[in-house]
Amino acid sequence: MKNKTVKDSESEVNRLVLPEDTNIFGALYGGRLVEWMDNLASITAFKHARKKVVTGSIDNLFFLSPINLGYIVTIHTFVTYVTRATMEVEINVQTENVETGEKKITTKAYFTYVAIDENGKAAEIPGLLLQTPEEEKRFMEGYTRSRNRLDSLKIMKETLL
Ligand SMILES: CC(C)(COP(=O)(O)OP(=O)(O)OC[C@H]1O[C@@H](n2cnc3c(N)ncnc32)[C@H](O)[C@@H]1OP(=O)(O)O)[C@@H](O)C(=O)NCCC(=O)NCCS
């Protein structure tokens, strides 16, 4: 299986916050933003794996500033780390106030996707071809996050299953 570059699956989308996306205070629902993030990050995972993928985990997610009706939301996603069957995708969310042009980072998060076969079992995916020192650094950091994630998953499985 041929390795893929980060650029092969990097994705970006702009969304305009409409009335149906907001709560009674005129701010974007957190759940709606997570849906948009998961949607774009899964596109990145699909493009890397070229197989079915499911969301395996979402790391800590903090919303740093409210996103109001009429703001532009820009979501940018790319693969940072892969294992035999999983992809860690970094998601950056920036907002823009259309009236003032002011831009703010709202959140940065890591979602992990697992590629699956026709039986729902984890399936092998291409490796990640690292092309820049920044990509290498992110991969190393992804390895550490992955170890922590798997420790948490093990504890959760022991507790719940
Ligand atoms: C994710 C899923 C396919 C894993 O199945 P599984 O039989 O537990 O898989 P395994 O234990 O054989 O692990 C397979 C790989 O997935 C990784 N993995 C398993 N569960 C994971 C999770 N929840 N998060 C991140 N990685 C996970 C393992 O580390 C392993 O990686 P590797 O092979 O690259 O080293 C299965 O748990 C599932 O279908 N979950 C529901 C997914 C879903 O529906 N998501 C939408 C929201 S509900």
Pocket mutation for ligand 1, best pick of 42, 114, 155 (most atoms within 8 Å of C-beta) = 114
Query: How far is it, in rounded angstroms, from Cα 77 to Cα 89?
Result: 6
pLDDT at 33 over 90: yes
Query: How far is it, in rounded angstroms, from Cα 117 to Cα 125?
Result: 11
Q: What's the 114 CA to ligand 1 centre distance in angstroms?
A: 6
**Which atom number of ligand 1 is nearest to the Cα of residue 120?**
3
Structural domains present in the chain: 4-160 (3.10.129.10)
* Residue 63 CB-half CA count within 13 A: 14
pLDDT at 161 over 90: no
**Which atom number of ligand 1 is nearest to the Cα of residue 55?**
45
pTM over the 0.95 mark: yes
Any ligand 1 atom below 6 A from CB of 146: no
Q: What's the 32 CA to ligand 1 centre distance in angstroms?
A: 24
Instruction: State how beta strands 86-96 and 72-82 pair.
Output: antiparallel
Residue at 90: amino acid letter: E
Query: How far is it, in rounded angstroms, from Cα 40 to Cα 68?
Result: 21
The beta-strand segments (E) located in the chain are 4-5, 11-16, 52-58, 72-82, 86-96, 103-116, 128-129
* pLDDT of 54: 98
| Arithmetic mean of pLDDT over the chain | 97
pLDDT at 85 over 90: yes
